[in-house]
Structures are given as C-alpha cells and as structure tokens.
Structure 1
Amino acid sequence: MVKVTGDWLTQPQTQAVCAMLTDAGHQAHFVGGCVRNALLDAPVSDLDISTDAHPERVMELAEAAGLTAVPTGIDHGTVTVISGRIPHEITTYRKDVETDGRRAVVAFADTMVEDAERRDFTMNALYCDAAGVVVDPLGQGLDDLKARRFRFINDPAQRIREDYLRILRYFRFHAWYGDAAEGLDADALAAIATNLAGIEALSRERVGSELIKLLSAPAPEQAVAAMRQCGALAMVLQGVDDRALAPLVHLEQQTDMAADGIRRLAALGGEEDGRGLRLSNEQRKRLAIYRDHIGTAEGAGELGYRHGADMARGILLLRAAMLEMPLMSGSFAAVDHGAAATFPVKAADLMEAFPGRFHGRALGDALRRLEALWIASDFTADRAALIDAS
C-alpha cells in the first residue's frame, strides 16, 4: 500500500470537505497535481477532489455543512468548496463525449477508471483518499512516477487531439518531473510531431503561460531541445535559437541565481516581444530590458544602478551565455555596489547653485552629464564635486 502524507492532507479544513462527501455516502479522492507532487516530495498547492457526487449534490452538501460553494465550472462538473479560506475544487467523475482540440463536451461518469482514462498523463491519474491511501486505477501511474517517466495515457495522438495544449504541457511537465536520463518518450514525440498544426488553434495566452512555466523549471533545456527537434518550438516562437539556454542554466546554477522564465525566454532570441504570447505588461517590460541590454557596453555597476541587482545579474548571465563572454570575477559585487548607490545631485541643486542658467532641456542634459561622470567615478564623486564640474 502506498500512502501520501502532508499538512495539506491532514489539515482540519480539508478533512471537513472530504467528510462532507463521504459521510453522505459519496466517494472523495484527491487527484492530479496534489497527489503527484506529494509522492515526489514537491510543494502542493491546488487541491483537486474527484467524486461520484453530481455538482448539484456537492452544492447541497456544502451548504448543509456550512461551507461556501461556488459553481466555478458547474457545467463541466466542478464546484469550488471553500473551507477555512482554503479552496477545494471538487469535480464529478467525467468522460469525454466530444472534443475539438480546445474544448470538450463531457458527461458524468460512474467510476474512477472512466475518469482516469480521460486525463492526460499517467502520473497525473493518481488518486488518494482522505487517509492518504493512493489508488492507481490504470495501473501505470505509480510505476511511471517512480521512474520519473512522463507518458500520455493510452494513445498519445488521441490524448493530444482532445486538447492540443497537451503538447506544451507534455514538455512542461517533463521539464519539472521527468528524468533527464530517461529522456522523452518516443511515442509521445512522434504523436506531437504529427499534430503540430493543432498549436495554431490555441489561444496565445495559454501558449504563453505554458511556455513561461516550462522555462521556469529548474533545468528545462532538454525539454526545449526536444521541442525544437520535433518542430514544436518553431510553432510557438518564430526565429528562436535555444543554443544559449543550457549555458545560461549552468551559469544560474553556478551563481545561485533563481530560475527565471522571462530571462530564459530572452536567451531564446527571436522576434517575439511578448505581445504575441500575451505576456503581462510587467513580463514584457522585463523581457525588453533583458534583450535591450545584452549587447550594450554598460558595466556591471551601471546595470545595477539602473535596473536593480537581480535584473543586472541576469543581464550579465545572458551576456555570458549568448555572447560567450566570461563572467568576470567581482562583477556581482560591482552590481550590488551600483544598486545601492543614489545619485547625489537633484535638479534643485543646480538651479540653486546657478540661478537662471539651467532650465528645461538644458537642465535635463546637465543632470544626465553629471550622472555619467558620477557613474564613471564608480559612484564616488560627491555632490559638491559634481556641482563644481557643472
């Protein structure tokens, strides 16, 4: 018998949700990411529960138990039950009736096996009850998870045609949970290669979200290389080149830099500025800073001063990975020095020291010139010396 443990499972709020169902004679099994991650000793976030109770019954039971029920996806059998401010997505066993690669028409199912057969990957089709006892209804998930072998359930091509986003999810999940030594499943890659056109049917928001999640994995270079080799990467991004990704990941690990999906997206190059991937404004801004400063002559200290320590370190790593420039000893210390520096001269200082001399564009030009002198002094020139240099 295999069991999972963890505070996420034993917390009273979650046990109350399970009891709400089981005390009424229904099944309640956690499924998917929470079970997979618990077995892999990875953090658990989303709590998904599968049940034979229909959504209207779940709503009724939640109300009777004094819990908040929100019909977040009731047409597809999903009700979010909030217990002690913790959301639990409860979904009735389902089976696909019709799919078009983006949306599915589903019917409620009677058994866990039917529910498992419509899921995407074997290690995502693992269930556990409120006591943590794991159920592997298809008889494949536990073995694949133990081997870190990431595979589609049954026929990969059929799984893909049900939802073409599974192409990108396959690479993303392999990057996070697969065994690099095991490699990527040949049947999966063949099915992906013959169904690449389906990527065009996906919303760019979904594509962008999956890509950033993939690139944020600790070591995504193998999965990205496989995407390139089977043609999926070119379907997602035009004109990209992943040769700098592995060196960048290596440098991040050497310097204890946290993984950053946007920094790694910058390393792929291409023409994508984030609009086509529907990235957030903040993500697009960071992507632009990374790309705009890879080839500039700004030193480490100036990068730290202008963009902050973390962004400046990222630019230095990108330069080293993409331009094959060495990461100079002491460069991170220079970044920190610049990031901590504050330009000592303000507009009012020049206007007070030279009444009537500086105004408008001339004032801005003077401040920029003094700032350049200050940076060139390694941030040591003080206010009086800079004003004298005016």
Structure 2
Amino acid sequence: MTRLPDHILADPVLHRVLDALEAQGNQAYLVGGAVRNALLGEPVDDIDIATDAMPDRTVALAARAGLRAVPTGIDHGTVTVVAEGRGFEVTTFRRDVQTDGRHAVVAFSTDMAEDAARRDFTMNALYADADGTVIDPVGGLADLRDRRLRFVGDPARRIREDYLRILRFFRFFARYGRHADRDALQACQDGRDGLDDISCERIGQEMRKLLAAADPLPALRLMSETGVLQKVLPDATLGRLRALESLPGQTGWLARLVALSQADLTNVLRLSRAEARDHRKLVAALVEDWSFSRIAYRLDSSLAEDAARLVQTAADHPMPRPGWPEARSACRANPLPVSAADLQPHLQGPALGRGLKAAEDAWIESGFSLPAPALIDAALLAGEDTA
C-alpha cells in the first residue's frame, strides 16, 4: 500500500476541508499534482480535491462547516472552498460527454473511475484519501516510479479531446519524465496539425512552462523528432540551445527561446510587451555579437547574464569571471557624456536616434575613454550617412 508522506497530511486546514466534505457520507480525495508531487518529494503548491458530492452539495457542506464556498467554475463542477484564508479547488467527479479538440462538455459523476478515465496522464490520475492512502485507478504509480509519461487510455483519443495535450505532454516530460511512451509520441506526431486550432495564448503558456524546466532539452528533442517543435516554432533549431545549456549556470526561459529561434515571436506566442521588449534585446545581443561591455552597459542585470551566455554560443570568448558583476558595475558607472541636445539641430527624428546609438557604441568600444567632441563627430557622421 502506498501512502503520502506524513508532512502532507499534517495540515489541519486541509483536514478541516476534507472533514467538511465527508461529514454526511460523501467522499473527498486529494488528486492530481498534489499527489504526484508529494510522492516525488517535490514541492506541493496547490491542493486540488475531487469529490462525489454534486457542486450544490459541496457548497452546502462547506457552509454547514462554517467555510466559505466560491463558485469559481460551478458549471464544470468546481467550487473553491476557503478555509482560514486558503483556497482549495473542489471538483465533482466528471466524465466527458462531448469534446471538440479545445473544450469539453462534461457530466457529473459519482464514480472515481470515470473521473480518472478523462484525465490526461496516468501520473496525474492518482488520488489519496484523508489518511494518505493512494488510490491508483489507471496504473499511474508504476509510471510515476519509472518517470514514464503515458496518456490515460488511448493517446490519440486523449489528444483529439484537447490538442493542447500535445504540448502538455512535452511540458510534463521536461519536468517529470525520463521515458516517453512510444504510442504517446506517435499520437503527438499524428495529431500535431490539431495545434492549428489552439490559441496562441494557450500555446505560449505551455512553451513558457516547458522552457522554464530545469532541463528542457530532452523534451525539445522529442518535440523536434515528432515535428511538433517546428509546428509551433517553424524556424526553431536545437544546436544553439545545446551550446547554451552546456555552459555553467542556469538560463532563463526567454534566453532559451532566443537560442531556439531569433524570429519575432510576439504574436506566435502572445508575448507580453515586457517579454517582447526583452526578447528583442536578447536577439540583438546575439545576432549583432555584442561585446560583454556593450551587454553590461545596455542591459539590466536580469537580462545581462542571459545575453552574455547567448553571445558565448556564437563567439569564442569566455564570459569574464569571476569579475563579471564587477565589470558590469564599472560599465554602468560611465554614462554617455553627450546628449541629444549636443546633436541638435544637426540631427532630428530618426537620424538623432541613430546618432546617439553610434555615439554610445563608440563610447563603449573605446573603454569609456573617447572625449565628447569625438563622440559627437561619430554621431553626426552616422546620422548624416543614413539620413
């Protein structure tokens, strides 16, 4: 018999919610990520609960126990039960009635087996009762132990129900998997055209999470072999990312995205304004082969490290360590000694911007030693040549 670790169960607030739901004969179980992560010894952030109680009964049981119930997704069976300021998503057992590749019409159920059968991966279809005993309707425990990622039931059917599950498969593999089920990979390859009907927002969310994994390369390699990576990012190649991941230290997800593709992905992945701005800066540093001084001078600390790592994948010069933070501080301590006022009225509009950029480039490359008149000359020359 498999049980959850004791520290997961030593939560009086959780037990208060479970006791409330079971007070009149109903059943309530921890389900999904909380059970999976607890068994893997990984952090448990949110606890989801599955129950045979209908949604209106969940609300009534919570109220009877003095708990607040918020109907956050009551049409789909989900009620958020709030206890001592913490929210627990409580969802009635469900079965799918109709799916269209993006959304599902569900019916409520009192059968755990029906609820488990509609879930995506076997390691996400594990339940645990209030005593910590794990219930495994679909063979998820063995898969979890072996770090094997496998769909519940027929992989092709699971994917046709929601084509986003293709990306979820690779995202979960990046974090939890070591072995990928062959039938699952074939189904992902066969169904990849279904991603055309998935919104860019949803695709972007999955790719962010995948690229933020400790080691996304094995998952991305499988994505490439099945053609899914090229479906999402047509220009993507893995060579530069391999080089990036071989460097010491950790890389942010946005720099990994730049290593994969230097194309404008703002609309492809629905990047936020801030993400799109930082993406452009990282692409510029890589494509233009910025010097470390230029990186240190122009980029905030949150981006400078990633930009420096990207540049190393394209040029044969190691990052200055251990003096990189000190070198960056020294660069930032030398502001450009000329301003837009020094270039006007000779340069206006876009020419003024180009002139200032040329002056800044000259300032950086001179080791912050070029006098102001020479910087002005460089700016005027650049502005006039491209006007």
User: TM-score if structure 2 supplies the norm length?
Assistant: 0.87
Q: Does 1:343 align with 2:339?
A: no
Task: Look up the match of 1:317.
Answer: 309
> Alpha carbons of 1:347 and 1:292: their partners in 2 closer, same or farther (altered >3 Å)?
closer
Amino acid at match of 2:270: R
Task: Look up the match of 2:279.
Answer: 287
- Measured in 2, the distance between the counterparts of 1:345 and 1:202 equals 47
Task: Look up the match of 2:364.
Answer: 375
Q: What pairs with 1:39-58 in structure 2 (closer than 5 Å)?
A: 39-58=39-58
Task: Look up the match of 1:17.
Answer: 17
Q: What pairs with 1:232-251 in structure 2 (closer than 5 Å)?
A: 232-251=228-247
> Alpha carbons of 1:157 and 1:368: their partners in 2 closer, same or farther (altered >3 Å)?
closer
Q: What pairs with 1:209-220 in structure 2 (closer than 5 Å)?
A: 209-220=205-216
> Alpha carbons of 1:373 and 1:201: their partners in 2 closer, same or farther (altered >3 Å)?
closer
Task: Look up the match of 1:230.
Answer: 226
Q: What pairs with 1:1-390 in structure 2 (closer than 5 Å)?
A: 1-5=1-5, 9-138=9-138, 140-179=139-178, 182=179, 184-251=180-247, 254=248, 256-257=249-250, 259-269=251-261, 271-321=263-313, 323=314, 325-328=315-318, 330=320, 333-334=323-324, 336-339=326-329, 341-344=332-335, 375-376=364-365, 378-379=367-368
Helix, strand or coil for the counterpart of 1:222?
Answer: helix
Amino acid at match of 1:278: R
Amino acid at match of 1:164: Y
> Alpha carbons of 1:148 and 1:374: their partners in 2 closer, same or farther (altered >3 Å)?
same
Give ranges in structure 1 of 5+ residues lacking alignment: 352-356
Root-mean-square deviation (CA), in Å? 2.8
Task: Look up the match of 1:354.
Answer: none
Deviates more, 1:339-348 or 1:48-57: 339-348
- Measured in 2, the distance between the counterparts of 1:23 and 1:367 equals 71
Amino acid at match of 2:60: E
Contact 1:32 1:125 in 2 (8 A): yes
Helix, strand or coil for the counterpart of 1:89?
Answer: strand
Helix, strand or coil for the counterpart of 2:149?
Answer: coil
Q: Output one character per residue of 1:101-135: Cα deviation in whole Å (capped at 9) or x when no partner.
A: 11111111122111111101010011112232211
> Alpha carbons of 1:191 and 1:269: their partners in 2 closer, same or farther (altered >3 Å)?
same
> Alpha carbons of 1:367 and 1:343: their partners in 2 closer, same or farther (altered >3 Å)?
farther
> Alpha carbons of 1:63 and 1:223: their partners in 2 closer, same or farther (altered >3 Å)?
same
User: TM-score if structure 1 supplies the norm length?
Assistant: 0.86
Deviates more, 1:67-76 or 1:366-375: 366-375
Amino acid at match of 1:292: A
Amino acid at match of 1:302: R
- Measured in 2, the distance between the counterparts of 1:110 and 1:22 equals 14
Amino acid at match of 2:186: A
Q: Per-residue deviation at 1:178?
A: 0.5
Contact 1:300 1:331 in 2 (8 A): no
- Measured in 2, the distance between the counterparts of 1:327 and 1:69 equals 59
- Measured in 2, the distance between the counterparts of 1:361 and 1:282 equals 33
Helix, strand or coil for the counterpart of 1:23?
Answer: coil
Q: Per-residue deviation at 1:302?
A: 2.3
Over the matched positions of the two proteins, sequence identity in percent amounts to 41
Would you say how many aligned residue pairs link Structure 1 and Structure 2? 371
